[in-house]
Amino acid sequence: MKGFILGEKSEQSQIFDETGERYPVTFIKTTSCYLVSCKWPEQHGYSAVQLGFGRIKNIKKSVKGQLTKAGIKTPLRFLREIRLDSIKPIDDKGKKGLLIGETKLFIGDEIKPAVLFKNNDSVSVTGTSKGKGFQGVVKRHGFAGGPRTHGQSDRERAPGSIGQTTTPGRVLKGKRMAGRMGGERVTVKGLKIVEVKDDGFLVKGLVPGAKGSLLEIRN
């Protein structure tokens, strides 16, 4: 079954398995996530679902119009589109939606994690990594730095040579140097679901982003 849902990074902890081995876990809170709309190949040229997540007090009029059209009264903070290989459209008494396996999802319905996910499922989690600001090459790229002795008192965390001589006479594009670190879209694959709850699920391992940040989960 293809599963997809939006959530937020709630808390990190650790648990023990049957053999006494300890491993880290992350709880991903998925309430409240709604199916806002669907994209069909015949109409839009590709298959996708648009999901809404997170309660907020004030929203833009354009977003409010989308939610009203979907029949969602809850003001949602985030709208995200997740592409799918193919989806089967369904129409039940004027209500449009899609069929995933034997599960029917209609536009405007709240998506529960237990409907699309189960224990031991392997999922991919996408989020925005923590921003580290401007960092040097040792922290950003894992450089070793220069020698600590022989008069090199100011080269401990320097990058060293960054180019050649007359040919090519410039620094090549993509050279690993100091700069902004973090704040990028990161996907962690192959995380196992330990436990599915009503308001989210527990995954084995760590996920990108700060606490409370938006996550996209799919399997």
For range 115-136, the mean pLDDT: 94
DSSP letter assigned to residue 37: E
pLDDT value of position 32: 85
Query: What are 123's two structure tokens?
Result: 């999922």
pLDDT value of position 97: 86
pLDDT value of position 4: 92
Tell me the CA distances in angstroms from 35 to 6, 66, 96, 141, 212, one per residue in order. Answer: 10, 11, 11, 40, 21
Segments making up each domain of the chain, as ranges? 4-119+193-218
Query: For residue 32, is the peptide bond before it cis, meaning its omega torsion is within 30 degrees of 0?
Result: yes
pLDDT in tens, 10-58: 999 999 988 999 999 999 999 889 999 998 888 888 889 999 998 889 9
Q: Say whether pLDDT at 1 is over 60.
A: no
4-119+193-218, CATH topology level: Double Stranded RNA Binding Domain (3.30.160)
For range 60-89, the mean pLDDT: 89
Tell me the CA distances in angstroms from 18 to 15, 21, 27, 61, 108, one per residue in order. Answer: 10, 7, 20, 52, 41
